[in-house]
Amino acid sequence: MNVPIIIINWNGIEDTIECISSVKNMVYNEYHIYLIDNGSQNQEGHKLERLYSNDSKITVIQNNHNYGFTKAHIDIWENEIQKQSYKYIVLLNNDTVVDANWLQHLISFAEIQKIDVVSSKMIDFYKRDLMDNAGHQMLNTGEIIPIGFSKSIDLYNNPIENIGACAGACLYRTSMLHKIGFFDPYFTTGYEDAEFGLRAKIAGFKLKYNPNAIVYHKRGKSIKKVFNTAYSEMIQTAILYTYFKLVPFPNIIISLPSIIVKNLSILIVDLVFKRWGYLSIWKQSWINVYKNRKMIRAKRREFYQAISNKTIPFYSFISKTKFFLGFDIERFWRIIILKRQSALDQY
């Protein structure tokens, strides 16, 4: 079974070469790499093209500027992969190194268990006793967050059902993409995989984490290239956009008290501790969603019509989400009380 692997170069040719080298050392060798140079600097695209010009397993595609993560993947899907009879596609960040059995485990897991989205066991490249993530989970207040971030890898040795996969290393069944579409072009770089996973889950597809599909991720290297206050605002807006676009209406009503409590808490904490930058991001994200409410309603209508309103039952969806309070108390303690840096502070 030949499988396309999509890798995007982001101004990191050394990382890309190391990533591809690990792929070429895999046990499973029925694959074809689509390597997209996303408008990188220093002639990296031409260097990669020369380097892999005689490799029949690699197609190098050069974008004339940086289209962002989402559009780069949509373009390769629509212009190359969608036209062919692939059963699966695999996404892989260029700042990763894969285990020799990674792809074999992804495919066999999908085949045997009939899974539509398979998440890899993504491990911190630099601290290999710690997880990067085991896919996504969702808080009942709408935020989609990584499972297992910075926790011991020994806690994630069993398969678990999740609500989406990190697009840095995952497998998608193409028949699913034909039914619900690929990434939403509303996104640029960030949260597109979270929205897609939630969309797949609500549409009734099977999503699961495979602990045997191991990838080592140099986490933060991709995001550091784009992370700033505007990026953080975009992510906060994306969380709200995704929630109101996709979540079944009964679940929104049930979660409304939690949403109100959480947002009032954010407002109070930011005012009391004079976190003016965070307060501005929070406020602007709600303004952005309000301004785009008609577009969001149209997208919601389009999605539910496409799946003929056949979603998982609302009570089943509740069981797939995590109550927000424990997570947010831990975050308050870590950032406000212990004064540890948040992602925005670090970048």
**pLDDT given for residue 313 in this prediction:** 79
Please check whether residue 217 is in contact with residue 122, taking contact to mean a CB–CB distance below 8 angstroms: yes
What average pLDDT score do residues 176-188 get? 96
Last residue of a domain, one of 225, 249, 272: 225
Please check whether residue 123 is in contact with residue 134, taking contact to mean a CB–CB distance below 8 angstroms: no
Torsion over CA: 71, 75, 81, 83 (sign): positive
**pLDDT given for residue 344 in this prediction:** 47
Please check whether residue 262 is in contact with residue 217, taking contact to mean a CB–CB distance below 8 angstroms: no
The rounded distance, in Å, linking the Cα atoms of 158 and 181 is 30
The rounded distance, in Å, linking the Cα atoms of 50 and 52 is 6
Tell which residue, 226, 263, 265, has the closest CA to residue 70: 226
* Residues 163, 246 share a domain: no
* Residues 305, 218 share a domain: no
Tokens of 180: 């619900």
* Residues 64, 182 share a domain: yes
Show Cβ contacts of residue 207 under 8 Å, excluding neighbours closer than 6 positions. Answer: 115, 116, 117, 119, 135, 161, 162, 163, 164, 165, 197, 200, 201
Backbone angles phi, psi at 15, to 5 degrees: -60, -45
We report the CATH number of the domain holding residue 133 as 3.90.550.10
* Residues 218, 307 share a domain: no
* Residues 75, 220 share a domain: yes
For the chain, what is the largest distance between any 2 Cα atoms, rounded to a whole number of angstroms? 61
Please check whether residue 64 is in contact with residue 45, taking contact to mean a CB–CB distance below 8 angstroms: no
* Residues 296, 315 share a domain: yes
Q: What is the pLDDT of residues 205-261, one digit of tens each?
A: 999 999 999 999 997 655 555 557 899 999 999 999 999 999 999 999 999 999 999
What average pLDDT score do residues 76-95 get? 95
Q: Which has more pLDDT, 120 or 317?
A: 120
**pLDDT given for residue 156 in this prediction:** 98
The rounded distance, in Å, linking the Cα atoms of 138 and 94 is 26
Please report, rounded to a whole number, the percentage of residues in the chain having pLDDT higher than 70: 96
* Residues 104, 44 share a domain: yes
Domain tally, the chain: 2
Q: Which has more pLDDT, 184 or 307?
A: 184
Q: Where are the alpha helices (DSSP H) in the chain?
A: 13-24, 44-51, 68-76, 102-113, 174-180, 192-202, 229-246, 249-272, 276-291, 293-306, 314-320, 324-332, 343-346
The rounded distance, in Å, linking the Cα atoms of 111 and 102 is 14
What average pLDDT score do residues 317-340 get? 90
* Residues 53, 156 share a domain: yes
**pLDDT given for residue 11 in this prediction:** 76
* Residues 221, 259 share a domain: no
Last residue of a domain, one of 188, 210, 225: 225
Does residue 272 have a pLDDT over 60? yes
Measured from the Cβ of residue 93, the count of other Cβ atoms closer than 10 Å reads 25
Residue 159 to residues 68, 121, 146, 172, 307: CA-CA distances in angstroms? 31, 10, 15, 17, 28
Q: What is the pLDDT of residues 118-133, one digit of tens each?
A: 999 999 999 999 999 9
Residue-number span of the structural domain to which 247 is assigned: 229-346
* Residues 186, 268 share a domain: no
The band of 173, judged by pLDDT with boundaries at 50, 70 and 90, is very high
**pLDDT given for residue 341 in this prediction:** 61
Backbone angles phi, psi at 190, to 5 degrees: 120, 130
pTM of the prediction? 0.94
Q: What is the pLDDT of residues 107-118, one digit of tens each?
A: 999 999 999 999
- How, if at all, do strands 3-9 and 88-93 pair? parallel
Tokens of 305: 């019509």
Last residue of a domain, one of 225, 254, 277: 225
What average pLDDT score do residues 9-37 get? 95
Instruction: Please spell the DSSP secondary structure of 149-163, one letter per residue.
Output: TTSBGGG--S-EE-S
What average pLDDT score do residues 152-175 get? 98
* Residues 252, 219 share a domain: no
Please check whether residue 155 is in contact with residue 149, taking contact to mean a CB–CB distance below 8 angstroms: no
* Residues 177, 275 share a domain: no
Any idea of the CA torsion for 295, 301, 307, 312, to the nearest 10 degrees?
100
Does residue 331 have a pLDDT over 50? yes
Please report, rounded to a whole number, the percentage of residues in the chain having pLDDT higher than 90: 84
Q: Among 93-97, 198-202, 226-230, whose mean pLDDT is lowest?
A: 226-230
**pLDDT given for residue 192 in this prediction:** 98
**pLDDT given for residue 225 in this prediction:** 52
